[in-house]
Copies of this chain bind each other. A is one copy, B any other.
């Protein structure tokens, strides 16, 4: 099986999985949009298809005709170069086309891509197919985050999954692992796929530091709450303090207090809080405040990647939740925005966001890399975001003149 065939098979699997995610959802579940930042599942299903139709078929299919002329605009997310787009906060108003029609759209585009594939002996568009596949995997995690948020807004607190909860495996002791100051190479190298924000691979100097071997867990975070963490401004970034006061935030997003018992809402519905499980659904501000309280700090993304490069990386690297780093999302030295509409994929978001590293329980299999840069604004809480602690090794300071 040549590389192209492998790609095509992977592509088929990814496409199928999106439909599988939606399978236990009703058309109504797929319709609703719980907040401007989240999108309806139906929209995700259509937009990921739009990506292939717009960036591959529109250019390469002989005699291209759109499945529906309006879809180009309805399912454009943020590509100004493509033209007009549906207002983001109003994606949930598109009751037409129906879920059924969106699924037909998926099948039609898939069939045309397959035909195109077979007609072309060489595949100059393999890169775009790979990008679309990776793009769809990103949206698969978003579908699950977004449906979780939607269900959390419903007083019935319905669960999505009826299968058993995964076996807990988090009861490991908390230890530090230390790394000496070093001039590293950071960023993706090699021929495998990566996003444009992971390159160029380049050198960074990292002072000596320690990093926690596992993520902060619910029990530890509960201790922070019980110690008055949400009432003590000295622990917080000023903007974070203002934000938790105005939003009345007093615990992680999906926690509920039922009498004396903390519970956590998730895709399995409401569950008693597992104290050993990594704490999740925190804003950057909460993560930083916890770290401050614990006498530590968040890792930088270079530190995180340094640790991940080791023969024996810290535990829980790609595990229950993404890990906020203290690094703002910025281009790597020498970064070039790709030409054309695809250039809008990453570069234009490189401001006022913070990088998360690792992956989460909702990340698709094979969609993780040590160089992967996830990113969200500091206020974000509906993503699978947690805490890995770090601290500087003070002896590593350079000599002062």
Contacts and interface: CB of A to CB of B under 8 A. Distances in A.
A293 interface: no
Interface in A46-102: 70, 73-74, 78, 80-81, 86, 90, 92-99
> What is the count of identical protomers in the complex?
4
Contacts of A151: 96
B155 A95 contact: no
Contacts of A16: none
A228 to B, nearest CB: 14
Interface in A291-333: 297, 326-328, 330-331, 333
A28 B98 CA distance: 7
A120 to B, nearest CB: 29
Given A29-B95, A236-B348, A326 B330 contact: yes
A32 B95 contact: yes
Given A95-B28, A334-B207, A237 B202 contact: no
Nearest to A152: B93
A330 B333 contact: no
A141 B399 CA distance: 34
Interface stretch (A109-117, A122-130, A254-262, A389-397): A389-397
B31 A31 contact: yes
A155 to B, nearest CB: 6
A158 interface: yes
Contacts of A205: 183, 203-205
Contact of A27 (B28, B34, B394): B28
B349 A237 contact: yes
A401 interface: yes
Interface of A: 26-32, 34, 42, 70, 73-74, 78, 80-81, 86, 90, 92-99, 150-151, 153-156, 158, 181, 183, 185, 189-190, 200-207, 209, 233-234, 236-241, 284-285, 288, 297, 326-328, 330-331, 333-334, 343-344, 348-352, 378, 392, 394, 396-398, 400-401
16 contacts: A27-B27, A29-B96, A31-B32, A31-B95, A32-B93, A70-B156, A95-B150, A185-B398, A189-B401, A200-B397, A202-B207, A237-B348, A239-B349, A239-B352, A284-B351, A333-B392
Given A28-B31, A333-B396, 20 more contacts: A28-B99, A29-B96, A31-B32, A73-B155, A78-B238, A93-B153, A96-B151, A200-B397, A205-B205, A206-B333, A207-B333, A209-B333, A237-B350, A240-B351, A241-B348, A284-B351, A328-B330, A334-B392, A334-B397, A352-B378
| Closest 6 pairs between A and B when the two form their complex, measured CB to CB | A328-B328, A205-B205, A80-B233, A28-B95, A207-B333, A334-B392
